[in-house]
Amino acid sequence: MQITQEQDRQELAAYGGTPARTTPLPSVGDLSGRRIDEAEIEAVTRVLRSGKLNSTVGSETAGWESDFAAFLGVEHAVACSSGTAALHLAVAAVNPEPGEEIILTGLSDAGTMLPILAQNAVPVFADVDLRAGNLDPASAAEKITGKTRAIIAVHLFGIPAAVDELRALAGQHHLILIEDCAQAYLTQTASGALAGTTGQLGCFSLQQSKHITAGDGGTVVSNDVALARRARLFADKAWPRDAPTSATQHAGSFERTHLFLGLNYRMTELQSSIARVQLTKLETIVADRRRNAARLTHKLTGLAGLQCAPEDGTAYWLFPLYLDPELAGADAFGYAELLRPEGIAGVPGYIQRPLYCTPVLTGHHTYGTSGYPIADHEYGEGLCPNTEALIGGRLLTLQWNENYTDADVDDIAEAITKVHAYLTR
Ligand SMILES: *Cc1c(COP(=O)(O)O)cnc(C)c1O
């Protein structure tokens, strides 16, 4: 036994062995891991040559909206400047009274939470399931009060959240279900629906690291005409360009009036033209990510204390590993430390702290020194045990990519298997 562990130890790059991987893997941060080619260059050049860079004069953004709506099989799509903006449009469409509550999880990008505060509503945190890190409907149910207006479900890493249960729960309490699909293009839910189509509102991101990108950008989808119109108006200073008055119609311009508090969150024609080309590649991108993920999942099957994501419907934005530190010999931090010298970067916890432990909430840093609308709300450690267990060592995320080759995946598998052998000997 002693000899074997010593041999395992010598295999590890951390202790002088040969790294499993010596060249960089394809990355979403540059062309190596992005499917951008002449088609995007041609599209964006066409927009530049037209001189129509803004969606109010060009047709690319309207084109993106109808392409994306058709792709998802929904009635309305509203383009905007980021995924965070998309969530802001969704919350603004819900139009909560100041101080009303919106339920979400603490294991997500801050873009899920910040729009709630921006609309003067209160983020209320429910816990996640340990199997995937998605919102647990039972925990969400416990958090509903007379002030709750909406629930935001994130399909974390592209793993389908329990949106059928959540939609039913929302229905019982007259709440709106918002799906955060920033990581979930083509994620399929348990009932076979595409992510973003079960809730009343679905929010997508086109930021650099997502399945498809326009650098930044976002889109809200809905089958509810009133919610969609409110979202559209909110992104455009609540300027009703869709309702020309008889006085201005003939001049081809619309009355400059502002129906409610809105901002300018419009997506540019440059972004939209790129997004339209990216959309034509989305099915292949997700299929390739799924194929690569299936290969790694297969190779890691049977390693004690390491679980991969449930495969059904998952779109693999990242590749999460769920650890039982007792059985796996170390937690996510221990694994990350030994994987790094192998040439494989793993991020323990995905984020460093739950959203409810960030200073914006714990220090009530919102509007001036008022703390509004959360001055009376306590945030901080202890709110959601599963969220904290995952962030605290039971979750390790690996970058994932459509451009990984089988050999790339095999290097990742080798590194994890090596580290696991040493830690569990
Ligand atoms: C990326 C992301 C966002 C925010 O999108 P941006 O385009 O970066 O503003 C929101 N929610 C989740 C789950 C994300 O992954």
Predicted local distance difference test score (pLDDT) of residue 252: 58
Q: How far is the CA of 91 from the centre of ligand 1 (A)?
A: 15
Ligand 1 atom having least distance to the Cα of 217: 7
10 Å CB burial of residue 101 (0-12, 13-18, 19+) is buried
Determine which residue's CA is closest to atom 7 belonging to ligand 1. Answer: 83
Decide: 133 in ligand 1 pocket, CB within 6 A.
no
Determine which residue's CA is closest to atom 10 belonging to ligand 1. Answer: 111
Decide: 182 in ligand 1 pocket, CB within 6 A.
yes
Decide: 74 in ligand 1 pocket, CB within 6 A.
no
Contact yes or no for 321/394 (Cβ under 8 A): no
Predicted local distance difference test score (pLDDT) of residue 278: 98
Contact yes or no for 344/321 (Cβ under 8 A): no
Predicted local distance difference test score (pLDDT) of residue 2: 61
Q: How far is the CA of 216 from the centre of ligand 1 (A)?
A: 10
Decide: 109 in ligand 1 pocket, CB within 6 A.
yes
Of the candidates 227, 121, 212, 215, the one whose C-alpha atom is nearest the C-alpha of residue 177 is: 227
Decide: 154 in ligand 1 pocket, CB within 6 A.
yes
Ligand 1 atom having least distance to the Cα of 207: 7
Please state, in angstroms and rounded to a whole number, the distance separating the CA atoms of residues 247 and 229.
23
Determine which residue's CA is closest to atom 5 belonging to ligand 1. Answer: 83
* Per-position DSSP letters for 156-221, written without gaps between them: GGGPPP-HHHHHHHHHHTT-EEEEE-TT-TT-B-TTSPBTTSSSSEEEEE-BTTSSS-SBS-EEEE
Ligand 1 atom having least distance to the Cα of 218: 7
Q: How does pLDDT run along the chain (425 residues), one tens digit per residue? A: 566 788 889 999 999 999 999 999 999 999 999 999 999 999 999 999 999 999 999 999 999 999 999 999 999 999 999 999 999 999 999 999 999 999 999 999 999 999 999 999 999 999 999 999 999 999 999 999 999 999 999 999 999 999 999 999 999 999 999 999 999 999 999 999 999 999 999 999 999 999 999 999 999 999 999 999 999 999 999 999 887 665 555 555 678 899 999 999 999 999 999 999 999 999 999 999 999 999 999 999 999 999 999 999 999 999 999 999 999 999 999 999 999 999 999 999 999 999 999 999 999 999 999 999 999 999 999 999 999 999 999 999 999 999 999 999 999 999 999 999 999 99
Of the candidates 376, 374, 369, 334, the one whose C-alpha atom is nearest the C-alpha of residue 355 is: 374
> Would the pTM count as exceeding 0.95?
yes
Q: How far is the CA of 407 from the centre of ligand 1 (A)?
A: 30
Q: How far is the CA of 113 from the centre of ligand 1 (A)?
A: 10
Decide: 187 in ligand 1 pocket, CB within 6 A.
no
Other beta carbons less than 10 A from residue 305's beta carbon: 18
Decide: 183 in ligand 1 pocket, CB within 6 A.
yes
Cα 269 from chain centroid (whole Å): 23
Q: How far is the CA of 274 from the centre of ligand 1 (A)?
A: 19
Q: How far is the CA of 277 from the centre of ligand 1 (A)?
A: 21
Predicted local distance difference test score (pLDDT) of residue 254: 72
Q: How far is the CA of 96 from the centre of ligand 1 (A)?
A: 21
Decide: 205 in ligand 1 pocket, CB within 6 A.
yes
10 Å CB burial of residue 366 (0-12, 13-18, 19+) is middle
Decide: 218 in ligand 1 pocket, CB within 6 A.
yes
Which residues face 122 on adjacent strands?
A: 101
69, containing H or E segment = helix 60-72
Q: How close are the terminal C-alpha atoms of the chain, in Å? A: 8
> Which of 207, 219, 317 to mutate to test ligand 1, by most ligand atoms within 8 A of the CB atom?
207
